[in-house]
Amino acid sequence: MLLLKGILLILFGVLAMLNPAITLTVFVVWFAIFMMFDGIISLIGVISNWKTEEDKWLLVAEGTLSLLLGFLVYRTPETFVSFIAFLISFWAIFSGISRIAMAIQLRKEIEGEGWLILSGILSILFGVIVFAQPGIGIATLMMIIAIFAILVGILLILLSLKLRKSGKLIGEKAEAVKAGLADIKNKIQP
């Protein structure tokens, strides 16, 4: 799921960079769709790992908030044009705090949680910048959002690759333990 989120963020960032002169309404719709996909992916991820997920309620809150806000913005983009910067700011700060909280929990389980912490810090920093300067021109805001999306996307992809590598290593170690137990069992049985 982290890999898919990272790829979607990079695609979103590249599209935003390629056409910074799009109208604000179109940008609002693009961002709403991204928020809905992000919410759906988060909810699918937490549901598929419900029994093993420690921060399930935080992830459910993040996914539900992204999905609901994305849907509201998609349904009435013109209503949200006046305060889209504040909405983006809130979402980025909340997502950043959520990622940092997840990383703190993950540090006990795996190595490489620093990538998730860094993505959370970037998200919070981005949210604070947008909140402090809501009057930024849309082209500038688009570029900031594009850079943010690409950087966080890259960090999430790197984290997913690190987690995949850790999963393979754990699988190899488990197979070695099983083989060792089978050898012991064969030596004990006449």
Cβ atoms < 10 Å from Cβ of 33: 16
**Domain-embedded: residue 184:** no
Domain extent, residue 137, equals 2-165
pTM over cut 0.85 = no
In this model, does residue 29 exceed pLDDT 70?
A: yes
**Domain-embedded: residue 183:** no
In this model, does residue 148 exceed pLDDT 70?
A: yes
In this model, does residue 189 exceed pLDDT 80?
A: no
**Domain-embedded: residue 67:** yes
In this model, does residue 36 exceed pLDDT 90?
A: yes
Over residues 54-95, the pLDDT tens digits come to: 778 888 898 899 999 899 888 887 667 667 677 778 888 999
Domain total of the chain: 1
**Domain-embedded: residue 96:** yes
**Domain-embedded: residue 172:** no
**Domain-embedded: residue 36:** yes
Q: What is the mean pLDDT of residues 20-39?
A: 78
187 burial (CB, 10 Å; 0-12 / 13-18 / 19+) is exposed
**Domain-embedded: residue 93:** yes
SS3 assignment, position 20: coil
**Domain-embedded: residue 185:** no
Percent of the chain with pLDDT over 90: 14
- Amino acid present at 121: I
How confident is the model at residue 124, as a pLDDT? 93
Contact 102, 58 (CB under 8 A): yes
How confident is the model at residue 190, as a pLDDT? 60
